[in-house]
């Protein structure tokens, strides 16, 4: 596993660390996932979950009050109860707290059995775990899944985020999605953030949770150092007004 942080720009804290599949020689996720068959999918999904929890416990992720975000494979042949039971067993075996887990369901996955997926998500939520819908905006069923599943986090697909400062249509879509999510009580994470200009637009859209190379690249079996961007223009302006107000009251 490699780990990449999801940061809260406003608070300058870590919201979560996403566990990303790697080979033992640091082969890419694509190389590893390409070897998974339908027959091995469930066992692979469980093995990834256990490995991520082991490393997260060793690295002290929960003690940072950050979530461990793991990718859930909807095609794995689990019932809702069995899926949760396996997760509980993994948590007990590794010592990692259940309530510090966030499961990411990719919109790009083939989701043929939404009733089963809904049952699994509900079972996890009933026990206090966090559910995220990944790659939102990239697939064909994003709004349907958002309506069907009790998710707490939406992760915007990187294609909506990259270059958003020069893409007015993408900006309007993200701004509208952020407003909708706010009304639903759902948090938004912007993925693939790489520039300060993107940060400024995302903040203006009301999005403070971000993930991308601007902050840290994934690091193998370790937690990366985070590069915090400069204070955004809007925040600098607000800080200046606050200081000016304070000086006036002192005078």
The reported pLDDT for the residue numbered 237 is 44
The pLDDT confidence band at residue 248, using thresholds 50, 70 and 90, is: very low
Buried (b) or exposed (e) across 147-186, using 16+ Cβ within 10 A? Answer: eebebebbbbbbebbbebbebeebbebbbebbeebeeeeb
Distance CA 46, CA 181 (A): 30
Burial degree of 110 (CB within 10 A; 0-12, 13-18, 19+): exposed
The 10s digit of each residue's pLDDT in 112-135 is 667 777 888 888 888 888 999 988
The 10s digit of each residue's pLDDT in 159-210 is 999 999 999 999 999 999 999 999 999 999 999 999 999 999 999 999 999 9
Q: Mind telling me the catalytic residues?
A: 191
1-5, 124-128, 150-154: least confident range: 124-128
pLDDT at 6 over 60: yes
pTM of the model: 0.85
The reported pLDDT for the residue numbered 83 is 74
Higher pLDDT, 233 or 204: 204
Q: Cα 103 to the chain's mean position, in Å?
A: 8
Distance CA 145, CA 63 (A): 32
The pLDDT confidence band at residue 144, using thresholds 50, 70 and 90, is: confident
The 10s digit of each residue's pLDDT in 17-40 is 999 999 888 888 888 888 888 788
Q: Count of CB atoms within 10 A of residue 231's CB? A: 12
Higher pLDDT, 96 or 241: 96
The reported pLDDT for the residue numbered 241 is 43
Q: Residue holding tokens 């809260």?
A: 8
DSSP per position, 42-87: HHHHHHHHHHHHHHHHHHTTGGGT-EEEEEE-TTS---HHHHHHHH
| Averaged confidence pLDDT in the chain | 85
């Amino acid at each position: 596993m490699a780990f990449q942080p999801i940061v809260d720009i406003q608070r300058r804290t870590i919201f979560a660390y996403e566990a990303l599949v790697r080979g033992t020689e640091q082969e890419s996720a694509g190389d590893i996932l390409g070897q998974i068959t339908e027959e091995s999918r469930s066992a692979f999904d469980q093995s990834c979950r256990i490995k991520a929890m082991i490393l997260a416990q060793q690295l002290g992720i929960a003690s940072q009050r950050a979530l461990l975000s793991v990718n859930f494979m909807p095609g794995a042949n689990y019932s809702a109860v069995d899926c949760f039971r396996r997760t509980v067993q993994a948590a007990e075996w590794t010592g990692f707290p259940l309530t510090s887990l966030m499961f990411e369901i990719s919109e790009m996955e083939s989701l043929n059995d939404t009733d089963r997926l809904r049952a699994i998500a509900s079972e996890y939520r009933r026990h206090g775990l966090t559910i995220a819908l990944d790659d939102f905006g990239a697939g064909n069923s994003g709004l349907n899944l958002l309506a069907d599943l009790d998710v707490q986090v939406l992760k915007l697909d990187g294609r909506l985020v990259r270059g958003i400062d020069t893409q007015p249509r993408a900006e309007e879509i993200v701004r509208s999605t952020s407003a909708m999510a706010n009304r639903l009580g759902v948090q938004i994470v912007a993925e693939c953030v790489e520039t300060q200009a993107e940060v400024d637009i995302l903040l203006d859209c009301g999005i403070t949770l971000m993930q991308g190379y601007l902050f840290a690249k994934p690091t193998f079996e370790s937690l990366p150092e985070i590069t915090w961007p400069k204070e955004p223009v809007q925040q600098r302006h607000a800080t200046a007004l606050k200081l000016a107000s304070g000086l006036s009251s002192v005078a």
